[in-house]
Structure 1
Amino acid sequence: MKLQLSNYLRDSKKEMKSIIEKLKEKYEYASILGTDVKGRSYRATVTGLNLGPSPDEERGFVIRIFDKGIFQEFSFNKLNEAEVLKTIDEELVKNREKYIVEKMTYKSKPLDEPIKESFFSEVKNLPENDNPEAILKDMDSIVKKYIKDYDKIINIILNLFVTEVNKVFISFNRDLEQSYAYTTAYAVAVAKDEKSVKTEFSAISGLAGSEIIESLDNKCKVSCEKAIELLGAEKIIPGDYDIICDPDFTGLIAHEAFGHGAEMDMFVKDRAKGKEYMGKRVGSDILNMRDGAKSYTEVSSYLFDDEGNLGSDTHIIVNGFLENGMADEISSLNLGVKPTGNGKRESYKRKAYTRMTNTFFDEGDSSLEEMMADMDYGFLIEGFTSGMEDPKNWGIQCVASKAREIKDGKLTGKIFSPVYLTGYVPDLLTSISKISKGLKLSGSGYCGKGWKEWVKTSTGGSYIKAKGRLS
């Protein structure tokens, strides 16, 4: 079933256009973004059930003005044309001198080529038709089932987030609207024995509705079995090893190693080493990396970003060379490049930054069996818990859920946890010797800009074989 634009934005669109027409009479450029994001969060544990709003809910408008070399933005939680226009006129004059003193001026305005497009995604279950009581009942039955089946599992936490995104963007020459739903679900299991307590999770996501719950039973079983398995994990001996990374951990490397490093607002501020390496080698010959709302269909796939630029498919690394970055509109004007549709806001109240969408290393032509066959000793790295990178100096730290020991081309059955991968990004990427067929992305998490401004992203790739420093 296909989603439709929310009634709230449909009813607001006429006034949005009227405001833009009035601003057109005074200023060089103006745009307005209307957002109406809604949804539900469901939670089931051994202690009870909970129903709440989606963590991404918001409703409001942000207006951007460019005039005489200066950009200014204004956010409103509701539209009243007279009050909006009065506020903008007063604030523009009041803030102008400050922007000039701080040298926040620009030589050109957005291109604003004429575009009129709409996007309405299809889902099996429309969010408006969901039955919350039935969904919570299904989740509760899953929790009770696996608590009974596994005596070492002391708690199970199931989370389901169903979010419907509605946005309208109007400028002098653009008329864009979109409505799509993304859903994420997590199954967290806590295992305990006489020695330790371990936690493991599995996740599913997609441009979908609550139908994702159909896969939650199996994900819960996987989480329980993996949590119990972790009870027997050992501590790894720190050192440099041959490693194979599963698609989830590969995605974490892509996101941290070159995702943040290729966000071009960091180029403007000279906070990313990638600025010095455009057109230069940063990885092995077989390595290719992409990002974009149109690169893959996952939770961060959309028609247009929060600045009214169409989503794209950006080839960041091509055969080991850093060829392109991701750019929001303001950064593109600073750097003289075309915006890539990566301008995203945490909400209408927040600034737009260059942000990742669907970020991944492209698949190769090897198989997991081939990668393991010629490995004398090393590890298969699975899952992830967290990661961080220093875009200025290209240091990286990625935390894996576990590492499985490989000896003479075969898994020994021994596992180690937790496992930290650290090092210098180009060293890691140039060591990649094989990449498997098949591509898998997960949109289960969020990405922060530093420690704040959280937005939905997805990451992934295939199995990769490399050399890494583990601890």
Structure 2
Amino acid sequence: MSIDSKYFKSIVQDLVYDLERTFPYASVLALETSGERITVQTRQQSAELLDPVRGAVLTAFNGRSFLESATHDLSPEGLNEAAARLKELGKDQGIFYDGPVIDPGPKLDEDFLVKCQNHPEYVSLGDKIKACVAIKDRLHREETRVVQATSQYAYVRNRELFVNRHKNLFQDLRRTQMVAQVIMRDGDQSVNLHTGQALQGGYEQAFIPEEKLSRLIEDCRRLLGARRLDPGYYTCVFSPEFSGIFAHEAFGHGTETDMFLKKRAKGEEYIGKPVASPLVNMFDSPALPGQAASFFFDHEGELAKETRIIEKGILKRGLTDLNSATRLRIPRSANGR
């Protein structure tokens, strides 16, 4: 039974209704994940299906905390058993109606999908391997000091259904990735470097632009002859892509508001204060079209949208899930995963 079928959706809607006879709030998230990966190296090849994932998480709010029950059995019987376990957990921990009120959001019933021009299911395994071999061979031809070249193709399909009393949302996400890696050696010196791309879509995204492959070899040549960096402080100029990654790792986790609740985040102390140059604006957006990590709604049913974290150097807000947004009484962002 497919999780996007009308029959399955009706079962889940009935399940939420039944759970809310016991709890102030309930929701269900059902997931299906499948995919494949092909790796071609200088001396070996492999092709494999990614481990499939299929199941559901039932969530309920008892007035004090969120409780969960999970199952891999998506039959009506399996879902009812998971619901029964959740009710028992509620009885053990208590049900309270004087706690925070969970907003189920506006009424929405919508299906979203990533468009696919060339379905990977219709491309033969032989053609996929040939494409990877072509990239591997090209890297060897360009530089004789390449001792190992690797080309890897991967495709992942995520199908997700979220249901609460107001929302019935389904999304079909397809992501394709191509990666190239080289190990270059000269005497006793060796370096490795990789490049590639990951985008939403089907097999039409299974390529690496020629300029990226040429840049990979050129950068490897330069690194092979470079001396080691002396420890110390340096002024660095990052690309827009890397600056976002660096900023997230440097302080982004400290702006996740579930850490505000636990008093483990330094970012809480800087809300409304300058943390960067007035020239800096930073956004988090899972709604960017075509990007591998983008989605239409998060695992708590919040529609994807742009969140302005830094504006003109001022830290404006953090990233929320349903629990932290409710308890801190701040607007939700689509970061409930």
| TM-score normalised to structure 2 length | 0.90
Per the alignment, residue 153 of structure 1 pairs with: 146
Select 1:75's aligned residue among 70, 73, 78. Answer: 70
Distance 1:262 1:82 in 2: 41
- Cα distance per residue 1:352-389 (max 9 Å; x no partner): xxxxxxxxxxxxxxxxxxxxxxxxxxxxxxxxxxxxxx
**More helix as a share of residues:** 2
- Cα distance per residue 1:53-109 (max 9 Å; x no partner): 247x42111111123434211111122334533443344334654589xx9x95222
The 3 A distance-change label for structure 1 pair 96 and 283 is farther
Contact 2:15 2:83 in 1 (8 A): no
User: One-letter code of the match for 1:191?
Assistant: M
The 3 A distance-change label for structure 1 pair 269 and 236 is same
Runs (4 or more) in structure 1 with deviation over 4 Å come to: 94-100
Distance 2:298 2:259 in 1: 19
2:25 matches 1:29: yes
Distance 1:278 1:34 in 2: 35
Contact 2:3 2:30 in 1 (8 A): no
Q: CA deviation at 1:164?
A: 1.4
Per the alignment, residue 156 of structure 2 pairs with: 163
3-state SS of 2:4 partner = helix
2:222 matches 1:229: yes
Structure 2 residue runs without a partner (length 5+)? none
2:285 matches 1:292: yes
Q: CA deviation at 1:296?
A: 5.7
Contact 2:19 2:83 in 1 (8 A): no
Per the alignment, residue 89 of structure 1 pairs with: 84
2:249 matches 1:283: no
**More strand as a share of residues:** 1
User: One-letter code of the match for 2:8?
Assistant: S
Distance 2:85 2:193 in 1: 54
Per the alignment, residue 274 of structure 1 pairs with: 267
Contact 1:38 1:165 in 2 (8 A): yes
Moved more, 204-213 or 301-310: 204-213
Q: CA deviation at 1:8?
A: 4.7
The 3 A distance-change label for structure 1 pair 192 and 83 is closer
Q: CA deviation at 1:165?
A: 1.6
The 3 A distance-change label for structure 1 pair 99 and 282 is farther
User: One-letter code of the match for 1:227?
Assistant: C
Q: How does 1:196-211 map to 2 (within 5 A)?
A: 196-211=189-204
2:41 matches 1:41: no
Q: How many residues align?
A: 335
Contact 1:65 1:72 in 2 (8 A): yes
- Cα distance per residue 1:432-458 (max 9 Å; x no partner): xxxxxxxxxxxxxxxxxxxxxxxxxxx
Contact 2:22 2:87 in 1 (8 A): no
3-state SS of 1:244 partner = coil
User: One-letter code of the match for 1:288?
Assistant: N
Per the alignment, residue 10 of structure 2 pairs with: 14
Contact 2:3 2:161 in 1 (8 A): no
The 3 A distance-change label for structure 1 pair 248 and 194 is farther
Distance 2:43 2:300 in 1: 43
3-state SS of 2:83 partner = helix
Aligned-residue sequence identity (percent) comes to: 25
Contact 1:112 1:171 in 2 (8 A): no
Distance 2:58 2:255 in 1: 27
User: One-letter code of the match for 1:50?
Assistant: S
3-state SS of 1:259 partner = helix
Distance 1:26 1:292 in 2: 36
2:56 matches 1:61: yes
Per the alignment, residue 409 of structure 1 pairs with: none
User: One-letter code of the match for 2:163?
Assistant: I
Q: CA deviation at 1:16?
A: 1.7
Q: CA deviation at 1:216?
A: 5.6
Per the alignment, residue 306 of structure 1 pairs with: 299
Distance 1:90 1:241 in 2: 56
Distance 1:263 1:338 in 2: 13
Q: CA deviation at 1:268?
A: 1.0
Per the alignment, residue 114 of structure 1 pairs with: 107
